[in-house]
Amino acid sequence: MASSSTLLFLLTFLSLGRGQRSNTDDGRSSCSRCDLQLSCNCSHAGFTRVPMVTGQALRLDLSFNSIAVVTDNDLPGHTQLKALNLHGNRLSTIYPSAFDSLWSLEELDLSENLLTALNHTWFRKLGALQQLNLLNNPYSHLGFPPVFQKLVRLRNLALGGPDLKELRRGDLSGVTQLEDLTVKANNLTRYDSGTLADIWPLGHVTLSLHGPFIKNVTLASAMLSDVSYPETPLTLEDLHLNANESVQPFRESARRRIRDISFRNLSASDESVVNLLVVMDGVPISRLYFEDITLTGEGSWEKASWTDHKGIDEFFIRNIVVLDVFKFTSFLQLKFLLNYPRRVSVINSMVYVMPCPSSQLLVNVQYLDVTDNLLTDLTLAESLCEKNETLKELRVLNISGNVLKSLSKLSRLVSKLTKLTHLDISRNGYTSMPSSCPWPSTLRYINISRAKLTTITPCLPKSLEVLDLSNNDLKGFTLPLPALRELHLSGNKFLKLPDGQLFPNLQTLAMQSNAVNMFNQSDLQSYGRLENLQVGQNKFFCSCDFVNFFQSQLKGGGDLTLTDGEDSYICDSPFSLQGEKVGQVHLTLIMCHRVLFVSVSCGCALFVGIVVSVLLWRFHVFWYLKMTLAWLKAKRSSQHRQRRRNDEGCEPLLSFDAFVSYSERDAGWVENFLVPELEEPCEADSGNPPSPQPLTLCLHKRDFLPGQWIVDNIMSAIERSRRTVFVLSENFVQSDWCRYELDFSHFWLFDAGGDAAILILLEPLSKDDVPKRFCKLRKLMSSTTYLEWPQEEERREEFWRSLRNALRGEDK
Ligand SMILES: *[C@@H]1O[C@H](CO)[C@@H](O)[C@H](O)[C@H]1NC(C)=O
Ligand SMILES: *[C@@H]1O[C@H](CO)[C@@H](O)[C@H](O)[C@H]1NC(C)=O
Ligand SMILES: *[C@@H]1O[C@H](CO)[C@@H](O)[C@H](O)[C@H]1NC(C)=O
Ligand SMILES: *[C@@H]1O[C@H](CO)[C@@H](O)[C@H](O)[C@H]1NC(C)=O
Ligand SMILES: *[C@@H]1O[C@H](CO)[C@@H](O)[C@H](O)[C@H]1NC(C)=O
């Protein structure tokens, strides 16, 4: 069993090793930047060859590398790949069968490469392809046989570039219907009429025809003619219209009743504008779209004022540059253009005022967007005709990104727009709100995001259904708005969700990037009808309550949808959870019941402590400990003294016959009986034996050196005395013996078998009265005979004699 698994491991290891080696032999590196959706982002990685990627990949982005060639072996077995992006490489060679295994491929981007010729064999197996981008490669023609023949599902096609010279009849055969066609043909010199004519339905067409419009009007006309249909929006790029001639191709579009036309990157003179208006006279164009426009003239277009443009419904301009802005005449003569549209947008075009008479021409405008211009409170007053009626049909007004400052002035100006429902005043300089404001009663939507508001007031109308106050400096919201359905408060400084009772109809609440660190069931319950919530990108404190609530109530289910996705809810604290997703955090029991846990463990510790202390006390462990310590200490100081004496080479000096140790309570007996009897024996009656020699006694009261450590004193007293007399009594045993047992247990005194110690029992005392722990004393009592102090007078003589003998025992 074990050996077979080892073998397996070895085999795996070997095969891995071999795989890697062949890898390096082949010179191909691999890319593993694939996400869970099997989308592999290998762009900007410096690859010079197609890297190895998992065979399961669904999308492979290889854009912006340095890949020069795709060989037959580079994409083997990628039968599931749906999208391949090779944009911005150095591709000059693609092997004929390179894409043969990509049966599922739906999107292929080969734009911005160095392909000088296209080969129909690349695409022969790509029956599923829907989008093909071949823009900006240096091929000059599409080639034969027709390259797109097999692409039966193709819906989006982009081709051409600065080098495209020819488009021949049949080049696009096989392409039958498209949603989007882009042809960059700024340098096209040959176009066979009808080349693009067979594609139908045709969704949207973008043509770049700089050169043809200037040099070859016939060619441009033929192309426009082939792609102009009433239902097909047409975008023309890179045109430079400077004369009558250059606008003539539009006659073809006009003839085919084109309805939606856009210009991008256009420069036009007055003459060409006038002629364009003439060419388009009576054509039911409904949408005119201009982006990145340079006007070289003075705006004198009145020569075309007789033309009919009643059909124009939407007029859109973005990024317009008027070269001679100061000579540019007023729009007043443009009544024939301005009376009709319902939607007008003039975005990012340095508009600083729209004179009242001009704005009064916009009689049909319902939607006016002047985003990103230079309107101030003053010029807006002029544009909205402070003292006059204007824009009576207006429903949506977008003044986002101007330099407005006064909300009270704005509200007064718009209050007479009696049909206004939407007002976008975001990205202006509003810093405060007056306490009340007049508004049109129809107003439902206000966007004041990206201003500098710090508080809100009842200035906000009660009729609001959508309110956007994102990216201000708000800290609280206390205004009831009963009709409100959407409230956007992201990017402010809220610490918690506002009270839901203010908004009984709220369905959407966005509060991303605030300072909300948690919220709970009751916060949300106050909202009666909330359906969509966005509170991500706050610094969440991942407490157990919050995490439990989030994981059980919010995550994937319930009536409430987290529209900003569960993944944007990240823990910021506690530190151990920082950076983890709230929805995926696992909290342990200990973390969740910390207080309980701490109290229980403290309780246990306390209990154990008490039990241990009781046990210690019961078994006198402290006493034994103290004893051990003292023993060690005394041992050391005794050794020290011994060494010193040895060094000095002299015998211990014996200056006393006996050291008497007694309890303070027994001092009376010692002083009145013992000392007189032994130190100064009285002259006895003649005939009696001669009086005994006096003995010298050491008494702590009398003979101890003051100022020395008591233990040292006792020790040296014992050392300097031949015998030690213990006067034992109940008192002595209970209170004084301690010290001896503690401090001198090491002493020769106790070990010498009791020769040196003499015990006097002042009162009857049996061994069993001595506490068990005084083992030395008990030992002493059992090994040494002791003298009992007799109560009867006549036996005392006997006692003294025995004591004297004992004291002199050595000399016997
Ligand atoms: C193609 O057109 C570009 C401008 O779009 C011009 O700079 C370039 O010289 C032209 N190339 C040829 C080969 O005519
Ligand atoms: C705009 O068109 C001009 C030719 O009229 C061209 O040279 C220029 O590159 C174009 N600009 C962009 C951004 O496409
Ligand atoms: C513009 O050219 C067309 C045809 O080439 C001609 O019919 C028309 O009169 C010209 N218009 C002007 C204003 O020159
Ligand atoms: C106003 O214009 C901005 C920028 O074009 C856009 O994001 C916003 O949705 C517009 N507001 C309205 C109410 O159309
Ligand atoms: C409010 O305006 C901002 C900036 O112009 C825009 O991004 C946002 O989408 C608008 N809000 C709503 C709710 O349309």
The predicted structure's pLDDT at residue 9: 40
Any atom of ligand 4 within 6 Å of the Cβ of 459? no
The predicted structure's pLDDT at residue 486: 97
Which of ligand 5's atoms lies nearest the C-alpha of 466? 13
Average pLDDT over residues 77-106: 95
CA 147 to centroid of ligand 1, rounded, Å: 25
Which of ligand 5's atoms lies nearest the C-alpha of 486? 13
Query: Of 205-219, 425-439, 452-466, 761-775, where does mean pLDDT reach its minimum?
Result: 761-775
| Complete DSSP assignment for 683-735 | -PPTTSPPPPPP--EEEHHHHSPTTS-HHHHHHHHHHHEEEEEEEE-HHIIII
d(CA 318, CA 320): 6
CB 219 within 8 A of CB 191: yes
Q: Which of 240, 193, 198 is nearest to 221 (CA)?
A: 193
CB 399 within 8 A of CB 424: yes
Higher-scoring residue by pLDDT: 612, 23: 612
Candidate of 400, 426, 563 to mutate for ligand 5, largest count of ligand atoms within 8 Å of Cβ:
426
CB 117 within 8 A of CB 93: no
Among protein residues, the one with the nearest Cα to ligand 3's atom 8 is 244
CA 811 to centroid of ligand 4, rounded, Å: 124
Among protein residues, the one with the nearest Cα to ligand 4's atom 7 is 400
SS3 (DSSP) at 572: strand
Any atom of ligand 1 within 6 Å of the Cβ of 184? no
Ligand found nearest the CA of 423: 4
Q: Which of 56, 78, 53 is nearest to 67 (CA)?
A: 53
- pLDDT grade for 373, boundaries at 50, 70 and 90: very high
CA 445 to centroid of ligand 5, rounded, Å: 11
Which of ligand 5's atoms lies nearest the C-alpha of 371? 5
Q: Look at residue 322 and tell me whether its pLDDT is greater than 90.
A: no
Beta-bridged to residue 658, according to DSSP, are 697, 723
- pLDDT grade for 556, boundaries at 50, 70 and 90: low
Beta strands in 323-427 (DSSP E): 343-347, 367-369, 396-398, 422-424
DSSP 8-class letter at 433? -
CA 226 to centroid of ligand 4, rounded, Å: 36
Which of ligand 4's atoms lies nearest the C-alpha of 423? 13
| Complete DSSP assignment for 477-514 | -----TT--EEE-TTS--SSPPPGGG-TT--EEE--SS
Among protein residues, the one with the nearest Cα to ligand 5's atom 10 is 447
**574: preceding bond cis by omega (within 30 degrees):** yes
The neighbour count for residue 454, using CB atoms within 10 Å, is 14
3-state secondary structure 34-64: ECCCCEEECCCCCCCCCCECCCCCCEEECCC
Any atom of ligand 1 within 6 Å of the Cβ of 309? no
Any atom of ligand 1 within 6 Å of the Cβ of 187? yes
Among protein residues, the one with the nearest Cα to ligand 4's atom 5 is 371
Which of ligand 3's atoms lies nearest the C-alpha of 271? 13
The predicted structure's pLDDT at residue 145: 92
Any atom of ligand 3 within 6 Å of the Cβ of 244? yes
Domain limits, the chain: 654-683+691-809
CA 43 to centroid of ligand 1, rounded, Å: 29
Any atom of ligand 3 within 6 Å of the Cβ of 303? no
The neighbour count for residue 189, using CB atoms within 10 Å, is 15
Architecture of the CATH domain 654-683+691-809: 3-Layer(aba) Sandwich (3.40)
Average pLDDT over residues 365-390: 95
pLDDT digits (tens, 9 = 90+) for 27-42: 688 998 999 899 999 9
Among protein residues, the one with the nearest Cα to ligand 4's atom 10 is 398
The neighbour count for residue 579, using CB atoms within 10 Å, is 8
Q: What is the mean pLDDT of the chain?
A: 87
Query: Of 51-60, 109-118, 783-792, 802-811, where does mean pLDDT reach its minimum?
Result: 802-811
pLDDT digits (tens, 9 = 90+) for 42-86: 999 999 999 999 999 999 999 999 999 999 999 988 999 999 999
Q: Which residue has the tokens 């007031």?
A: 457
CA 461 to centroid of ligand 4, rounded, Å: 20
DSSP 8-class letter at 140? S
Q: Look at residue 689 and tell me whether its pLDDT is greater than 60.
A: no
SS3 (DSSP) at 345: strand
The predicted structure's pLDDT at residue 4: 43
The predicted structure's pLDDT at residue 49: 93
Higher-scoring residue by pLDDT: 237, 775: 237
Ligand found nearest the CA of 427: 5
DSSP 8-class letter at 661? E
d(CA 770, CA 705): 31
Q: Tokens for 533, please give them.
A: 């919530």
Among protein residues, the one with the nearest Cα to ligand 5's atom 4 is 426
Among protein residues, the one with the nearest Cα to ligand 2's atom 6 is 238
Any atom of ligand 2 within 6 Å of the Cβ of 59? no
Question: CA 172 → CA 149, 167, 321, 340, 509, distances in Å?
Answer: 8, 9, 38, 40, 51
Among protein residues, the one with the nearest Cα to ligand 1's atom 13 is 163
Any atom of ligand 3 within 6 Å of the Cβ of 242? no
Any atom of ligand 1 within 6 Å of the Cβ of 59? no
d(CA 271, CA 15): 75
Beta-bridged to residue 724, according to DSSP, are 659, 757
Rg (CA), the chain: 54
Q: Which residue has the tokens 């969704």?
A: 203
CB 167 within 8 A of CB 187: no
d(CA 54, CA 789): 107
Ligand found nearest the CA of 398: 4
Query: Of 276-280, 387-391, 685-689, where does mean pLDDT reach its minimum?
Result: 685-689
Query: Of 141-155, 388-402, 744-758, where does mean pLDDT reach its minimum?
Result: 744-758
Average pLDDT over residues 599-610: 91
Candidate of 265, 267, 318, 321 to mutate for ligand 2, largest count of ligand atoms within 8 Å of Cβ:
265
pLDDT digits (tens, 9 = 90+) for 736-762: 776 666 556 555 555 554 567 788 888
Which of ligand 4's atoms lies nearest the C-alpha of 396? 13
CB 227 within 8 A of CB 207: yes
Higher-scoring residue by pLDDT: 325, 292: 292
Any atom of ligand 2 within 6 Å of the Cβ of 240? yes
pLDDT digits (tens, 9 = 90+) for 187-203: 999 999 999 999 999 99
The gap between the terminal CA atoms of the chain, to the nearest Å, is: 90
d(CA 774, CA 737): 8
Maximum separation of any 2 CA atoms in the chain, in Å = 175
CB 494 within 8 A of CB 523: no
Higher-scoring residue by pLDDT: 587, 488: 488
Any atom of ligand 2 within 6 Å of the Cβ of 238? yes
Candidate of 367, 402, 424, 425 to mutate for ligand 4, largest count of ligand atoms within 8 Å of Cβ:
424
CA 425 to centroid of ligand 5, rounded, Å: 9
The predicted structure's pLDDT at residue 465: 97
Q: Which residues line ligand 5 (CB under 6 A)?
A: 400, 424, 426-427, 447, 449-450, 466, 468, 488
Q: Look at residue 353 and tell me whether its pLDDT is greater than 50.
A: yes
Which residues lie closer than 8 Å to 329 by C-beta, 6 or more apart? 298, 299, 300
Ligand found nearest the CA of 278: 3
| Sign of the alpha-carbon torsion through 536, 541, 542, 546 | negative
- pLDDT grade for 803, boundaries at 50, 70 and 90: confident
The predicted structure's pLDDT at residue 10: 38
Average pLDDT over residues 299-307: 88
Q: Look at residue 688 and tell me whether its pLDDT is greater than 60.
A: no
Q: Look at residue 555 and tell me whether its pLDDT is greater than 90.
A: no
pLDDT digits (tens, 9 = 90+) for 610-654: 998 888 888 777 777 776 776 677 667 667 766 776 776 555 567
Which of ligand 3's atoms lies nearest the C-alpha of 274? 13
Rounded to 10°, the helix 621-648/710-720 angle is 50
Beta strands in 195-342 (DSSP E): 202-208, 234-237, 240-241, 260-268, 287-295, 314-322
